Structure formats: C-alpha cells, structure tokens
Amino acid sequence: MIDHKEKGTEKNSESLNFIETQIEEDLRQGKNNGKVYTRFPPEPNGYLHIGHAKSICLNFGLAEKYHGKCNLRFDDTNPEKEEEEYVQSIKEDVRWLGFRWEGEPKFASDYFDRLYQWAIVIIKKGKAYVDDQPAAVIAAQRGTPTEPGIKSPYRNRAVEENLRLFEEMKAGKYKDGAKVLRAKIDMASPNMHMRDPVMYRIMHKDHHRTGNQWCIYPMYDFAHGQSDYIEGITHSICTLEFEVHRPLYEWFLDQIVEGVYRPRQIEFARLNLSYTVMSKRKLLELVEKKIVDGWDDPRMPTISGLRRRGFTPESIRNFADRIGVAKRDNVIDVSLLEHSLREDLNLRAPRVMVVLKPLKVVITNYPEGKTEDLETINNPEDETMGIRKIPFTREIFIEKNDFMEDPPKKFFRLSPGKEVRLKSAYIIRCDEVIKNSKGHITELHCTYDPESKSGSGQNRKVKGTLHWVNASSAIEVTVNLYDRLFNNPDPAGHKDKDFKEFLNPDSLSVLKGCKAEPSLAQAQPLEHFQFQRLGYFTADPDSQPGNLIFNRTVPLRDIWARAMQKTGKKN
C-alpha cells in the first residue's frame, strides 16, 4: 500500500508544475515573508464535481507542500443563486476528500463591511462613480471586443454626489437595477473587463448569511482579490477563464494595498473528462429534469455521486496527482480515473462472491443434506485481511453467462462435458442440461471431483474458475449496474446538438434477485467489495438490512468481454 502511494506521487518529487515553479520563484525573491497561503473558493450554488476536486487537491496540496495554509472560502456575493444546502455539501465533500481547512470556513459575505468601506475609498479617489443607466444601456455602451466603448454620461459625477448616491443605494432608497457603482477605468481598453466594470449592484434579496442586512452586493471582481488580501492569501489560483480578469484584480488591489504583501492570481486549465459533462449548469439540468436521481446519483461526476458510486478519496487524490496542472486545454480519458480507482480498490476491497444472473447447478454426486464450510481468502493482495468460511452444498448458483451449450473457441467456462473449477471449492463437470418446455435452460446437472477440493494439494489444472453461491444460504440482493452516462466522448462539444442527445440509455440497469454469499448481510453503507470476477461494488446508503442494494463502482478489466465485443463488431 505504501509502495503504491509512492508510485502515485513520485513524479512530484522530481519536477515542478508551472505553478510550483512560480511559487518557488516568489520564495526565492523573498516575497510575502516566505509564506504560501492558498484558498479554495467555491460559490455555494451547486455541488462540487471532479473538476473541483482537481482544484481542491491543487490548493490544499500546495499549502501542504510549502508548509502554508489553505482556506475554504465561499464566494457568496450573489444571494440570488446561493443556498445553505450547498455550503453544507461542499464542506462535507472537501472533508471527505481528506482535506482540513485553516480555522472556520470563510465567506466573502464576512467582508461585506470592509468591501463597502473600500468602495468609499475608491469613490473618494475619484475612481468610482454611480451610474443611473439601465443594464441594457450600459451593456450597449460597453462596445465589443473590437470596438471601444463609450463613456457614461454619469461618469464625471462629483465625488460628493457619488458618495451620497452610494450611501442611498445601501440604504435601500432605490429599486433593483436602478443604479450601480462602477469603477472608472478605461472605456477604450482592449480588455472588456477594464471598461468601467460594475462594482456593486442593487439586489433586494435576503442573503443566506447576512439576511436582509444588505441590499447592495459586490461583484465577483470587487470581492475576490479583496477577500484574498484580507485573508493573507499569497497565491490565488483559479481557472483560465479568469485570466482576462487579472488586470482588474490587480487594479483593485492597487487601490487598497498598503505595505509589501500582495496576493497574486495564477490561472490553470480546468479538468475535462471524456464521456462526461462538467458544467454546473448542465449538471443542474440533469438533476432538475430528473434524468438522474439527484446530485449524488452514482452516474454524476459530482463528488457526492462518485462517493455513492463507491470511489475512494485516495483514488481521486491520486488521479489529481497524475493528471498534472498546466495551462493548455485538456481532455482526460476516463480510463485514467478508472485506473486510479481500481488500483486503490484492488488493495483494499475484500473479495466476495455474488451471482448476478443465477443459473442453478445441482451436483448430483454430492450427498444430499451435506454442508461443508470451505475456507476462502479475503484478499489475495493483502494477507492481513484474513480468511472466511463459505458454505457449500449440493445445489449452487453460477452466472448464467458462465455456461454455454455451444461455446466458441477459448471459452474457458462451463459447457456440456467440460470441467471447470469452482472458486475455493471443487472441480465440476457438466453432465446434463435441463430445459423447460420453451427450450430455456433451467438448471445444470454436474458431478464434482471429491479429490479436487481447494487446498487439498491435488493440483489438477483446469482452465476456468467460476464464482458461485450456495443456494440454500444465499441472500437475495439488488444490484445497480452503472455505466457511463454519455456514449459520446465529448457530449458537450457539438454545436448543433444538445448534450442530452448523447445520454446512454443503458447507463443504469437494475438487477433484482441476485444471489449473494451470506457474509454480505453485514455490509455497511459505502463499504467496498470486489464481487469476484465481476467488479468493485459498494453498498448503497439506501440499503436496508432486509433489502440490500449494491452499486457497481467499476467493472474488473475483462479481456474476454473485450475480445467478444471485438468479434461482435466484426460480424
């Protein structure tokens, strides 16, 4: 386990990513007293997803690496979209990933007073003004990326008037949208964000934390850098779309910074995953249209969805390590995520036997009424996980598709006259296929070789080994077989098609009446298992003692299935 952990992070000890390079340069120059403080700044308007996990691992990881700290800060400057439900889920997800923030979680709303005072300072400098024009007019005056904007007629209001108006805005004298506070920068700037950006807007809307205390709220640009400054953040790491905001980030800092300490914004490319959509808007749509079962549906790329799917925090952190950090657009293959998952689960998930689609097998030469308790190993990767007993009798279940009457070449499973090993039990031979009136196979009659018991030292080789479950003691469980939600590598990347057109109709199939070995009755919510030869599964939190539900986290790699798929395509 230690070995594997080292394997996953060895790259980091050798080469630096571009952010680390810049941090070390800052350190070399003695900036900010040698401190490295970061923050993870989600807006509480949705659930966190795997893309956020990248950012979380990055920010908390950097703080750890450079012995600094990382704050969890909610960017809650827009009461129209933000809700308490989301702050709870975000805290839970960050914690679950294994990170601990410095002190209490922070909120941009904690700084509303400070921000208001700074706005006044900027007005007094003559660098901000109240604009009475409606949003549409302001938008029209902003120009386009290729044409300069034009100045507002209110741009040269006297400082005193601006001060009075701004105070009246705060006092609730005006309706939503009647006025805004704007920074006076440059309407001809080639950077749209510098064309007198809005600093404050009027919103008569209760805030999830400040209630009705405010009816004006700062914009992101006038809140983020200031919040960084208040918290002593040295490296404010965000995604690429904020790159064009950086001059504005700097401009606002220029207005307020005293002394030598100053935060700095660095942008990186967000994560894209193949066969996945990542935008909050699209994920919200899937939830609202009930295409999935909620934010934590196991098919969702949300942290809560992945958790319910059976992912481990370690696997996600290792994944984040492996994908690296850079500035160019990227699409990570889901198989890398799955690789990180299997790598972790292989080491920790106990092996159990469950038959998804049962086919009864009667072992005709096994004494009726006899039960043997056979020993089986819990995890061949980890001896310390010990052994357990599984019952064996005359009647068992095997997987339907582990039997073929007329098998193709290289079918190592059971077929008429052929032998196969039952995992941790005996070798059996199929003697007779029993069918009903419709010609469907209802059961198999086999004989076992009493000399071939597992561990008996009788090492006859047979090519195939099957998992099985004893019939009389089996418990019936429900299994959710999850597959990717989309069957297109880039569902959101088609200009003329809606991403929902690529929904995979088979992303979930529910199997009832699966046969599980009795030990599984004790399965705890979110406990991980490997169902032998099938894949990794976890107990769904909705699971009840009498009504167990398991979610398939990820199938085992399956060379045979893949080969069959290929020949299927050829035909």
16-55 residues near RNA, rule: CB under 7 A: 16-18, 41, 43
The residue among 181 and 548 lying less far from RNA, judged by its C-beta, is 181
Stretch that binds RNA, among 54-62, 83-91, 163-171, 238-246 (CB under 7 A): 238-246
CB 440 within 8 A of CB 403: no
333 binds RNA (CB under 7 A): yes
Parallel, antiparallel or unpaired: strands 508-516 and 475-482: antiparallel
11 binds RNA (CB under 7 A): yes
- Residue 101: HSE in the Cβ half-sphere, 13 Å Cα cutoff: 23
The residue among 96 and 154 lying less far from RNA, judged by its C-beta, is 154
197 binds RNA (CB under 7 A): yes
CB 130 within 8 A of CB 231: no
Measured from the CB of residue 400, what is the shortest distance to RNA in angstroms?
14
Parallel, antiparallel or unpaired: strands 535-539 and 528-531: antiparallel
Dihedral angle over CA of 347, 349, 351, 357, nearest 10 = -130
Binding mask 529-548 for RNA (x = CB under 7 A): -x-xx---------------
Say how many C-beta atoms besides its own lie within 10 A of residue 532's C-beta: 19
Q: Which of 480, 413, 423, 426 is nearest to 458 (CA)?
A: 426
- Restricted to residues 550-569, the positions that interact with RNA (CB under 7 A) are 556-563
The torsion angles phi and psi of 552, rounded to 5 degrees, stand at: -80, 120
Q: Nearest 5°: CA angle at 562, between 381 and 292?
A: 85
Tokens read off for 387: 């052994």
570 binds RNA (CB under 7 A): no
Burial (0-12, 13-18, 19+ Cβ within 10 Å), 56: buried
138 binds RNA (CB under 7 A): yes
412 binds RNA (CB under 7 A): yes
434 binds RNA (CB under 7 A): no
Measured from the CB of residue 438, what is the shortest distance to RNA in angstroms?
27
Q: Of 159, 331, 362, 511, which lies in the binding site for RNA, with binding defined by CB under 7 A?
A: 331
98 binds RNA (CB under 7 A): no
Q: Of 184, 421, 515, 552, which lies in the binding site for RNA, with binding defined by CB under 7 A?
A: 421
User: What is the rounded CA–CA span in Å between residue 551 and residue 537?
Assistant: 5
100 binds RNA (CB under 7 A): no
465 binds RNA (CB under 7 A): yes
Give, as one character, the DSSP assignment of residue 102.
S
Binding mask 114-133 for RNA (x = CB under 7 A): -------------------x
The torsion angles phi and psi of 226, rounded to 5 degrees, stand at: -65, -40
188 binds RNA (CB under 7 A): no
Stretch that binds RNA, among 48-56, 72-80, 164-172, 302-310 (CB under 7 A): 72-80
User: What is the rounded CA–CA span in Å between residue 534 and residue 353?
Assistant: 9
Q: Which residues are catalytic?
A: 43, 270, 280
User: What is the rounded CA–CA span in Å between residue 385 and residue 419?
Assistant: 31
418 binds RNA (CB under 7 A): no
Binding mask 279-318 for RNA (x = CB under 7 A): ----------------------------------------
270 binds RNA (CB under 7 A): no
Binding mask 370-409 for RNA (x = CB under 7 A): ---------xxx----------------------------
145 binds RNA (CB under 7 A): yes
Q: Return the beta strands (E) in 195-263 as ranges.
A: 198-202, 216-218, 235-239
| Ramachandran area for residue 317 (φ above 0: left; ψ -120 to 50: alpha; else beta) | alpha
Measured from the CB of residue 382, what is the shortest distance to RNA in angstroms?
10
The residue among 11 and 497 lying less far from RNA, judged by its C-beta, is 11
User: What is the rounded CA–CA span in Å between residue 434 and residue 414?
Assistant: 14
Report how many residues bind RNA under the rule CB under 7 A.
Answer: 97
Tokens read off for 304: 């809560």
